[in-house]
């Protein structure tokens, strides 16, 4: 028994080492990582954890707040650095692996640990855990909801079903606070599974009034709070964040009819390496046995559930008009269960298998480390160093003219970051007019402008009789200091 306990300790330690390795090596990459981190840092500096902001004057409600809360907590505990910002996703990835082992006890009884091993060594979930986005959190909370559902469905104890129902409802509520309605897709798949397996009578067994109440309270309180504070947000959530992403091409994210095939098929096939051959094998087998597939599924709920869990959300993602690879990250949990069922039992005593898996794990770890040595245009750390090199003391604000702000500078410079629009141009939602910006006293403020917009900016500064100094270039941006403001420690020209 003691030997078995030591084995589990070593297994957990190895998983955490695998998940945390090189998480802090790579700089933040624009735009997503910088944006999420900037919102979390603004929460810490303002003390307002209810209303997400990119800048003290720029609200940012494109995502519910759970990701920002997680990041803000990690940055507060671990300091303003890349490792602290990425540690939560590493821990969530580890938790997902552990939950798949627990699910394996119900759905892959021949070898319960196999779904966890498959998921841990998938390319896509491991790579995604190194990105500061909502998606690893969403995958983990959805998995928690489905784990609770599985325990409810397969439990013979009414008390256990009630307790696990609360776990499922809590996971679904957290998923809803992470990304809104898409977080409920696995539970929609669970509804389909119950209907196919047991009909109407099955629903009374699964969801209790207590669980429903817990979900409603946890999932809705933040939305109600911000909607009461800002009534126009209700329309924004329903139109911009739901309708436009599902039925409209307004967001311009691979909205073409073939966009789902172009984005999701390569993501699933490449992202499921090194287990893709067994995925293909399962598809081929299903096609060969299609005549008897439904009777087999009806008699095998452990296979039917992960199939519903995989296929129903994928169908929604294919139909929706906004498509990005990370949207299907939660689909890799049921994919791991399906592949594990096809593989089990796998001979873990095989030396060849252990060597191959060891080599693959090392490849994944070093592939994560490699970008730290690459000089890429969206590297926020290098840009911050180049900007800081133009002045001798700390920068209080960096303002970008007519171009997407590089919000990652907030982490590296400790400065606020915003966007300026010039007169006569279409203002972006997060931008501030040039005249309004110049009227504010921001301390050491630098203006970053693309060379293509430099002449237009200089024309406007002359028009309002403001002089400027050009301090140099920073990775493609021209760095300007407006005369008459804080001189950032530079000598008079």
Domain count, the chain: 2
Which residue in this structure is represented by tokens 């897709």?
Answer: 185
Residue 349 tokens read as 């005593």
Question: 323 pLDDT band (50/70/90 cuts)?
Answer: confident
Over residues 416-432, mean pLDDT: 87
Residues 226 and 267 in one domain: yes
Beta-strand runs (E) in 174-313: none
pLDDT at 245 exceeding the cut of 80: no
What's the maximum distance between 2 C-alpha atoms anywhere in the chain? 84
Q: Assess whether 365 and 403 both reside in one domain.
A: no
Is 472 within the bounds of a domain?
A: yes
Mind listing the pLDDT tens digit for each residue in 172-201?
999 999 999 999 999 999 999 999 888 777
pLDDT of residue 395: 94
Q: Is the peptide bond before 127 cis (omega within 30 degrees of 0)?
A: no
**Dist CA 118 CA 272 (whole Å):** 9
Distance from the first to the final alpha carbon of the chain: 76
Same domain? 407 vs 331 = no
Beta bridge pairs of residue 445: 397
Predicted local confidence at residue 280, as pLDDT: 75
Task: Reply yes or no on whether the pLDDT at 291 is more than 80.
Answer: no
**Which of these three, 318, 351, 371, is where a domain ends?**
371
Q: Given pLDDT bands bounded at 50, 70 and 90, which one contains residue 4?
A: low
User: Residue 389 falls within a domain, yes or no?
Assistant: yes
Asked which of 371, 391, 406 is the last residue of a domain, the reply is 371
Mean pLDDT of 53-63: 90
In a domain, 94, yes or no: yes
Mean pLDDT value of segment 59-74 = 95
Residue 484 has a pLDDT of 75
Q: What is the pLDDT of residue 317?
A: 92
The predicted structure's pLDDT at residue 5 = 64
Q: Report the pLDDT value the prediction gives residue 251, as an integer from 0 to 100.
A: 58
Shared domain for 347 and 386, answered yes or no, is no
In this structure, are 320 and 404 located in the same domain?
no
Residue 486 · residue 444 · CB < 8 Å:
yes
Residue linked to tokens 């759970």: 66
User: What's the whole-number mean pLDDT along residues 288-310?
Assistant: 81
The reported pLDDT for the residue numbered 429 is 78
Cα gap 266→75, rounded to integer Å = 34
Statement to judge: residues 213 and 237 lie in one domain? yes
Q: In this structure, how many other beta carbons lie within 10 angstroms of the beta carbon of residue 10?
A: 10
Q: Is residue 289 part of a domain?
A: yes
Q: Which of 310, 341, 371 is the last residue of a domain?
A: 371
Backbone φ, ψ for residue 448 (5° rounding) = -110, 130
Pick from 275, 435, 274: nearest CA to 364? 274
In this structure, are residues 390 and 472 in contact, taking their beta carbons and an 8 Å threshold? yes
Per-residue pLDDT at 250 exceeds 90 = no
Identify the pLDDT of residue 248. Answer: 58
Q: Which of 16-30, 199-213, 297-311 has the highest mean pLDDT?
A: 16-30
Domain residue limits at 324: 2-30+61-371
- Length of the chain in terms of residues written: 493
More confident residue, 220 or 284: 220
Same domain, 401 and 355: no
Residues 202 and 75 in one domain: yes
Query: What are the backbone angles phi and psi of residue 464, rounded to the nearest 5°?
Result: -100, 15
Structure tokens that stand for 37 in this block = 């981190």
Label residue 283 by pLDDT band (50, 70, 90).
confident
Q: What is the DSSP letter of 426?
A: P
Q: Is 291 exposed, middle or buried (0-12, 13-18, 19+ CB in 10 A)?
A: exposed
Answer whether residue 90 shows pLDDT above 80. Answer: yes
pLDDT band per the 50, 70, 90 thresholds, residue 2? low
Q: Are residues 279 and 424 in the same domain?
A: no
Q: Is residue 487 part of a domain?
A: no
Per-residue confidence band for 249, with pLDDT thresholds at 50, 70 and 90: low
The answer to whether the predicted template modeling score (pTM) of the entire model surpasses 0.85 is: yes
DSSP 56-116: TTEE--SS-SHHHHHHHHHHHHH-SSHHHHHHHHHHHHHHHHHHHHHHHHHH-TT-TTHHH
User: How much of the chain exceeds pLDDT 70, in percent?
Assistant: 94
Token pair belonging to 267: 């993501």
- Nearest alpha-carbon partner for 211 in 152, 156, 154: 152
Asked if residue 206 is part of any domain, the answer here is yes
pLDDT at residue 252 above 70? no
Q: Report if residue 488 sits inside a domain.
A: no
- pLDDT attached to residue 237: 78
What SS3 class is residue 26? coil
Say whether both 390 and 365 belong to one domain.
Answer: no
Neighbours of 236 (CB within 10 A): 15
On the question of pLDDT at 324 being above 80, the answer is: yes
Where do the H-state alpha helices sit in 376-450? 380-388, 409-413, 434-438
DSSP symbol at 253: S
Question: What is the torsional sign of CA 190, 191, 195, 199?
Answer: positive
Strands of the sheet containing 416-421, edge to edge, are 431-433, 416-421, 397-401, 445-450, 477-482, 468-474
Position 43 in a domain: no
Do 282 and 163 lie in a common domain? yes
Tokens in use for 487?
Answer: 């001189």
Mean pLDDT of the chain: 90
**pLDDT for residue 387 is more than 80:** yes
Q: Are residues 174 and 250 in the same domain?
A: yes
């Amino acid at each position: 028994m003691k030997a078995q306990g030591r084995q589990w300790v070593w297994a957990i330690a190895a998983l955490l080492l695998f998940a945390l390795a090189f998480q802090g090596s790579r700089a933040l990459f624009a735009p997503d990582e910088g944006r999420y981190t900037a919102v979390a840092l603004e929460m810490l500096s303002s003390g307002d954890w209810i209303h997400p902001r990119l800048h003290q004057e720029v609200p940012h409600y494109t995502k519910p707040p759970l990701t920002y809360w997680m990041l803000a907590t990690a940055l507060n505990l671990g300091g303003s650095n890349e490792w602290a910002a990425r540690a939560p996703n590493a821990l969530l990835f580890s938790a997902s692996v552990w939950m798949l082992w627990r699910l394996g006890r119900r759905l892959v009884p021949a070898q319960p640990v196999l779904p966890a091993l498959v998921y841990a060594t998938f390319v896509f979930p491991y790579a995604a855990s190194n990105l500061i986005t909502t998606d690893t959190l969403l995958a983990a909370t959805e998995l928690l909801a489905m784990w609770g559902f599985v325990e409810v469905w397969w439990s013979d104890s009414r008390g256990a079903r009630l307790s696990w129902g609360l776990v499922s409802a809590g996971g679904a509520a957290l998923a809803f606070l992470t990304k809104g309605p898409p977080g409920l897709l696995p539970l929609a798949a669970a509804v389909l599974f119950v209907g196919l397996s047991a009909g109407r009578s099955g629903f009374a067994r699964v969801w209790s009034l207590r669980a429903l109440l817990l979900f409603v309270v946890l999932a809705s309180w933040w939305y109600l709070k911000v909607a009461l504070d800002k009534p126009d947000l209700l329309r924004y959530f329903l139109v911009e964040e739901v309708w436009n992403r599902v039925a409209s091409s307004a967001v311009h994210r691979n909205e073409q009819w073939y966009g789902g095939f172009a984005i999701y098929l390569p993501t699933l096939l490449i992202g499921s390496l090194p287990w893709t051959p067994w995925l293909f094998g399962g598809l081929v087998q299903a096609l060969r046995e299609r005549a008897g597939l439904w009777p087999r599924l009806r008699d095998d709920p452990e296979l039917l559930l992960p199939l519903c869990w995989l296929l129903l959300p994928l169908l929604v993602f294919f139909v929706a008009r906004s498509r990005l690879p990370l949207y299907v990250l939660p689909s890799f949990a049921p994919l791991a269960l399906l592949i594990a069922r096809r593989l089990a039992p796998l001979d873990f005593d095989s030396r060849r298998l252990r060597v191959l898996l060891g080599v693959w794990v090392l490849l994944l770890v070093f592939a994560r480390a490699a970008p730290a040595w690459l000089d890429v245009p969206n590297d926020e750390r290098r840009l911050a160093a180049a900007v800081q090199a133009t002045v001798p003391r700390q920068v209080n604000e960096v303002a970008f003219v007519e171009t997407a702000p590089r919000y990652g500078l907030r982490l590296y410079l400790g400065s606020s970051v915003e966007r300026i629009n010039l007169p006569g141009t279409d203002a972006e939602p997060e931008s501030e007019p040039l005249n309004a910006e110049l009227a504010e006293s921001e301390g050491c403020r630098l203006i970053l402008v693309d060379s293509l917009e430099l002449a237009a900016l200089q024309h406007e500064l002359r028009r309002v009789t403001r002089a400027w100094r050009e301090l140099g270039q920073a990775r493609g941006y021209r760095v300007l200091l407006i005369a008459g403001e804080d001189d950032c420690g530079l000598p008079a020209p």
